Amino acid sequence: MNIAIVGMGTVGGAAIRLLEENAAELERKLGFKLHIRATASLEVEERKEVDTPTGRRLLTRDWREAVEHPEADIVVEVVGDTTIAYEVQTTALALGRPVVTANKELLGLRGAELAQLARDNKTSLHLEASAGGCIPILNALREGIAADHIEAIYGILNGTCNYILTQMEAEGSDFEDVLADAQQMGYAEAEPSLDVDGFDAQHKTGILASLAHGFWVKPEKVYTEGIRHVAPLDLEFAGKLGHAVKLLGIVKTSKTGPVQVTMFPALIPNDHVLANVSDVYNGILVRGDVVGDTLYYGQGAGQDATASAVLSDIGDAVLDLAHGTTERMKAFNSHEANGAVRPIDEVTSCYYLRLTVLDRPGVLAKVSTILAKNKIGISSVIQPEGHEGKSVPLIFMLHYARNAAMTRALKAINKLAAVKAKPVMIRVENFE
């Protein structure tokens, strides 16, 4: 089987290396030799044919030359943008060639269209590498627990954010200091907003929701918050309250119809398994109506983790071609025509609330009155000692309430003269 690879960056380079290193093992398992017949990258200085461990290979700057190569059976797209990558994928699919991609952003924007194009051209789209790093979560949703109605998915889906939160908790360091260290170590990009503002995990959460519920969830439908507002003080108080803070993607059904699809930091009880997912690792809990809770854990960041998922998809594409089928594992099976995402205002959560207030009588009473007017109950209050100065922290744990009510309450609380900084609110997930 001949493979064309477009993109020779971090993931593409790792995929090429792993294909060459594990060629014999892959042949043993699949029953076919895998040959990288063409690679395309702007880093290629000149077009040429070279001899490699897996055979003769074309190197070119022209992605079309690789995708349209007459000997190419499978096309791997690891470009990493949404423009050229879209052209690569649509061209390959129109030729009837299976496509393997790790492009979560493109899939989030146009996944349903690409899946339909694959179906129309009697070929297949493979996207395991788009969510969860090396974790085979998409295969699990489509095959492993296919008999279940998926009631909930809870996912720590961004290794960079998880590393930052882990280090902030362990060291008591500020976000910016840990981010700088993560950038120096290669865990975070020079421009980190895609990770720390939640957009990388947003795309992954949307893909998981789409596969679980049968209607395509576009990124703009996924309510998203990042971790910039989380301070060491919040991690300290969360620990005292028996919780850890994680950036958590949530896909949750309800009895009233629309599905919650959200991405935000959340307090998680320390005795829950996801609270112990640390550093660059990902953890995903899937709750089915038959199987109950299942857990998927592994490296969510790094070139080898993603490349491993790419190779797995190549293997699936090989088997599809060998057996003359494209129906064995559809990229996306639309089975819920009337699916809808629950607006964030209607989502119900418990809440952690940290205020910075003047240390004087009556402040607690005023805040409590505002919460009561919005029908938000108080579970506990912490007025920590040892904080000197005119302003002190005031910590609330709040009962279940709609996000709309919490938004109104925060707006009113922020207007109080005694409140000297923007309130910090973090949702609490109890996995109920």
Convert 406-424 to b/e letters by CB count within 10 Å (16 or more is b). Answer: bebbbebbeebebbeeebb
247-304 pLDDT, tens per residue? 999 999 987 789 999 999 999 999 999 999 999 899 999 999 999 999 999 987 668 8
CB 158 within 8 A of CB 300: yes
Give the confidence band of 328 by pLDDT, cuts at 50, 70, 90: low
Same domain, 154 and 10: no
Q: Which two tokens stand for residue 261?
A: 């699809």
Same domain, 370 and 254: no
CB 31 within 8 A of CB 102: no
Same domain, 147 and 289: yes
Can you give the residue range of the structural domain that contains 89?
2-133+304-323
Same domain, 367 and 418: yes
| Number of separate helices (H) and strands (E) present in the chain | 14, 17
Quick check: is 121 in a domain? yes
Quick check: is 329 in a domain? no
For 371, residues 6+ apart whose C-beta sits below 8 A from its C-beta are: 377, 378, 396, 398, 409
Q: What CATH number corresponds to the domain at position 390?
A: 3.30.70.260
CB 161 within 8 A of CB 201: yes
Same domain, 172 and 82: no
Quick check: is 340 in a domain? no
Q: What is the pLDDT of residue 262?
A: 98
Count of domains forming the chain? 3
361-393 pLDDT, tens per residue? 899 999 999 999 999 999 999 987 766 667 899
Picking from 221, 247, 93, the residue whose alpha carbon sits closest to that of residue 165 is 247
Same domain, 292 and 148: yes
For 384, residues 6+ apart whose C-beta sits below 8 A from its C-beta are: 237, 392, 393, 395
Give the residue-averaged pLDDT of 169-188: 91
Give backbone dihedrals phi and psi of 295, rounded to 5 degrees, phi first.
Answer: -120, 140
In this predicted structure, the answer to whether residue 330 has a pLDDT above a threshold of 70 is: no
Q: Which residues are catalytic?
A: 204
Same domain, 313 and 370: no
Same domain, 259 and 397: no
Q: What CATH number corresponds to the domain at position 308?
A: 3.40.50.720
Neighbour tally for 40: CB within 10 Å: 27
Same domain, 143 and 157: yes
| DSSP-assigned letter for residue 259 | B
CA atoms within 13 A on the CB side of 323: 14
Q: What is the rounded CA–CA span in Å between residue 16 and residue 310? A: 10
Same domain, 148 and 34: no
